[in-house]
Amino acid sequence: MRLLIVGQLSGPLGTAGRIATQRGAKVAHIDGIEGALSALRNGQGADLVMCDVSLDIAKFIDSLKSERINIPVIACGIGADAGTAVRAIRAGAKEYVPLPPDADLIAAVLQAVAEEDSTFIAKDASMKPLLQMVDRVGASDASILITGESGTGKEVMARYIHRKSRRAAGNFVSVNCAAIPDNLLESELFGHEKGAFTGAVARRIGKFEEANGGSLLLDEISEMDIRLQAKLLRAIQEREIDRVGGTQPIKIDIRLIATSNRDLEEEVKAKRFREDLYFRLNVVNLHLPPLRERIADIVPLAEYFAGKYAKANGLNDRALSAAATASLQAHHWRGNVRELENTMHRAVLLAQSNQIEPEAIMLSGQSFAPAQPSAAEVAAQIALGRAPAAATGGLVGRTVADVERDLIIDTLSHCLGNRTHAANILGISIRTLRNKLKQYSDEGLPVPGGAGEERAVS
């Protein structure tokens, strides 16, 4: 966590900085707004800015926005009246912290920013091979391409990789290639010299230089214009960049991570993505499965988000009832973890007690759910006693034994052969599952994981 304090460091503001340092933050200090802007333009970087409310916070935040420097700003002050705090929030400050500082409040602010970026929850068996791969390649400098549907947590995975790498003490810098217009993305990545184009009011260090010694994430790289891809390829190959309007190449030392929610091989075939760049990025590929294929992650994630938003809204902890849990596990989650987070935020606010009941679970996107759920999804629904008619409509005419066999085999395949995990989803004992699998094996049917193999619990 990199904290930049803007204001006079004497007195309570200095105390806030010392508290933040004790809580593990890397604290830098600059007296005024212009100096802070200059430092940020020159690649100093920060994850959070704490700014004295007596300074022109509105001007500071407007300058950050106009120069596309995306850093949350916290206003703080001594004895400021409510109107001052409100004006700071209206100007764009994320929060107002009164001074003298309370150590627990400073810690909570730092933790909130850190958790926003780095909380990683993966309990499902389908995630185990991915985590093993990260453990093997994390310490290297190999480029990594993370693919998966929108909302599956690709950026969270990228931050997890950075923390596992030998560059963990360096900066982690993220650029959303889909959110920045093509004509500005080049400057965002490579920086520019003063006067290089209209609006270039000062020299600006790009994300490559800011990430020097650390990791650079190019989020949704498939949205990058193909003309800019050529310059990116050169930067990766030569390990040097040219600022827009600059005359001298600049050496860089970064670990590159990219994400995409598109099939990049199809993008290459369609001539929308350079094949040579694809191969440079795809040294290691990590594909994040959608949430509907990570059934064991649904409840831990839901509980995490329930706790997060209860705390954020000053409410008591909200526990999930059994019926609410069943509702979450039976849902298709077209929007993946992002949809689950929004659902739990609503549920925390709508819950009428300290327990979240089904009526507080307002699920969206029902019309997009597939007409025929996968066997693993049906298994979760049946085990919870909530299988809808649509889930069984294609089963008419088949024997119960046939349906049971397909359900067990498909669920075990979904769990990558983990029998304990599959038995939990199916709602049966491990002994019953073992006996069923032995029967299928004796009948000559292939059993995921091997007839006699017992997988460890993930």
Of the residues 114, 144, 178, the one at which a domain ends: 114
Q: What is the band of 215 on the pLDDT scale with cuts at 50, 70, 90?
A: very high
Structural domain contains residue 121: no
Q: How confident is the model at residue 118 (pLDDT cuts 50, 70, 90)?
A: low
* 340 and 203 within one domain: no
Q: Is residue 119 part of a domain?
A: no
Q: Write out pLDDT tens, residues 231-258.
A: 999 999 999 999 988 888 999 999 999 9
**Which residues is 73 bridged to in the sheet?**
49
Residues 94 and 216 in one domain: no
For residue 21, what are the domain limits? 2-114
- Same domain? For 427 and 295 the reply is no
Residue 225: band (very low, low, confident or very high) from pLDDT cuts 50, 70, 90: very high
Is 379 a member of any domain?
yes
- 380 and 457, same domain (yes or no): yes
Please count the structural domains in the chain: 4
Shared domain check, 17 and 85: yes
Mean pLDDT of the region 282-298: 94
Q: What is the pLDDT of residue 390?
A: 43
pLDDT in tens, 298-330: 999 999 999 988 887 888 999 999 999 999 998
- pLDDT tens digit string along 10-20? 778 888 888 88
Predicted local distance difference test score (pLDDT) of residue 457: 34
Q: Residue 374: what pLDDT?
A: 52
Task: Tell whether 358 and 389 lie within a shared domain.
Answer: no
Same domain flag for 321 and 342: yes
Q: Do 327 and 317 lie in a common domain?
A: yes
Neighbours of 25 (CB within 10 A): 22
Rounded to an integer, the average pLDDT of 429-444 is: 85
> Of 230, 254, 288, at which residue does a domain stop?
288
Residue 303, in any domain of the structure: yes
* 135 assigned to some structural domain: yes
Assigned domain for 123 exists: no
**Confidence at residue 389, expressed as pLDDT on a 0 to 100 scale:** 44
Residues 284 and 301 in one domain: no
Q: Considering 270, 288, 306, which residue would you say is the last residue of a domain?
A: 288
Cis peptide before 100 (omega within 30 of 0): yes
For residues 4-8, give the mean pLDDT: 89
CATH number of the domain that 250 lies in? 3.40.50.300
Same domain membership, residue 246 and residue 193: yes
Q: Is the pLDDT of residue 181 over 60?
A: yes
The percent of residues in the chain predicted with pLDDT above 90, rounded, is 42
- Which CATH number belongs to the domain containing residue 38 in this structure? 3.40.50.2300
> What is the pLDDT at residue 434?
86
What is the arithmetic mean of pLDDT over 421-441?
82
For residue 366, the model assigns a pLDDT of 54
On average, the pLDDT of the chain sits at 84
Residues 337 and 407 in one domain: no
Does residue 122 fall inside a structural domain? no
Highest mean pLDDT among 266-270, 384-388, 418-422: 266-270
Q: Which of 51-60, 122-131, 404-413 has the lowest mean pLDDT?
A: 404-413
CA separation, residue 419 to residues 3, 44, 191, 446 (Å) = 46, 50, 53, 15
401 occurs within a structural domain: yes
Q: Across-strand partners of 74?
A: 50, 95
Q: Are residues 258 and 145 in the same domain?
A: yes
The dihedral over CA atoms of 231, 232, 236, 240, expressed in degrees to the nearest 10, equals 50
User: Which structure tokens are listed for 169?
Assistant: 């003490």
On the question of pLDDT at 192 being above 50, the answer is yes
Taking the mean position of all CA atoms in its chain, how far away is CA 423?
A: 30
